[in-house]
Amino acid sequence: MENRIPLIGEKFPEMEVVTTKGVKKLPEDYKGKWLVLFSHPADFTPVCTTEFVAFQKRYEKFKELNTELLGLSIDQVFSHIKWEEWIKEKLGIEIEFPIIADPKGDVAIRLGMLQESASKTNAVRAVFIIDPKGVVRAILYYPLELGRDVDEIVRMVKGLQIIDEKKVALPHKWPENELVGDHAIIPPAASVEEKEKRLEAAKKGEIECFDWWFCHKKI
């Protein structure tokens, strides 16, 4: 069994994990849904607490995108539960999504979440976005000291869904790009014939172009 970071475009490795919501089979139990699997270094740590509050506050947004959340750290189930209780009591936020208990680090090691340059006992802040077919679509890795931007993760899920549906690409900071606003990027023409069709579509106002290789449209 190979222990490495799953690559974008690969099937997420099959595994059975223990969580605060019972045993789950990955990615089978999330078939038909998008899944955001994210690791954090440890329970009862300040940066991780801010992240969990942020994920929970956006949980409805994720669910509207047919997306579930699944946390992970190298802690036992009772630690996760006690931490959740503390967050609810002290901060007024109830964590509703499950958290994987990985006290031996088996899951973290298998997914490449433990790095020699970071820590042998704490998982880095990794994020895997997995599509409804169980395929890894995006990966984020943050150092222990830097908290993640959960709004960016919401944007990524939404963007990936639009890319699949519309067969387009999306620009920097979409939907608030400096050049094309909320438009999507049309993939560059792959032939002279397609280039001419692209220019004709621009003349008709069906799309907008800076040049034939840089066209965009409203979605």
Ordered DSSP codes for 53-80: HHHHHTHHHHHHTTEEEEEEESS-HHHH
Q: Where are the domains of the chain?
A: 15-149, 167-219
pLDDT category at 119 given cuts 50, 70, 90 is very low
pLDDT (0 to 100) of residue 124:
79
In 3D, which of 188, 185, 177 has the Cα closest to residue 212? Answer: 188
Q: How confident is the model at residue 112 (pLDDT cuts 50, 70, 90)?
A: confident
Residue 209 annotated in active site: no
Catalytic residue among 48, 99, 100, 114: 48
Q: Which CATH class is domain 167-219?
A: alpha beta
pTM to 2 decimals? 0.92
Contact assessment for residue 72 and residue 99, using Cβ atoms and an 8 Å cutoff: yes
Contact present, 138 and 36 (Cβ < 8 Å): no
Q: Which residue has the higher pLDDT, 206 or 114?
A: 206
| For residue 46, pLDDT beyond 50 | yes
Predicted confidence band of residue 79 (pLDDT cuts 50, 70, 90) = very high
Instruction: Indicate if the pLDDT at residue 114 is higher than 80.
Output: no
Which element (helix H / strand E) includes 125? strand 125-130
DSSP helix/strand/coil, 164: helix
Residues 7-27: what's their mean pLDDT?
97
What pLDDT score does 11 carry?
A: 97
C-alpha count within 13 angstroms, C-beta hemisphere, residue 174: 22
What topology does CATH give the domain 15-149?
Glutaredoxin (3.40.30)
Quick one: which of 15, 22, 31, 62 has its CA closest to 158? 62
pLDDT at 115 over 90: no
Q: What is the rounded CA–CA span in Å between residue 42 and residue 120?
A: 12
* Residue 117 pLDDT > 60: no
Q: Which helix (H) or strand (E) covers residue 39, if one does?
A: strand 34-39
In this predicted structure, which of 115-119, 187-191, 199-203 has the lowest mean pLDDT? 115-119
Which range, of 15-29, 110-124, 164-178, averages the lowest pLDDT? 110-124
- The identity of residue 65, as a single letter, is L
pLDDT for 59 equals 98
Nearest one of 123, 130, 128 to 103, comparing CA atoms: 123
pLDDT confidence of residue 113:
83
Instruction: Answer yes or no: are the C-beta atoms of 13 and 113 closer than 8 Å.
Output: no
User: What is the average pLDDT across 190-195?
Assistant: 94
C-alpha distances out from residue 139 to 5, 89, 121, 194, 209, Å: 9, 33, 21, 33, 31
pLDDT at position 182 is 97
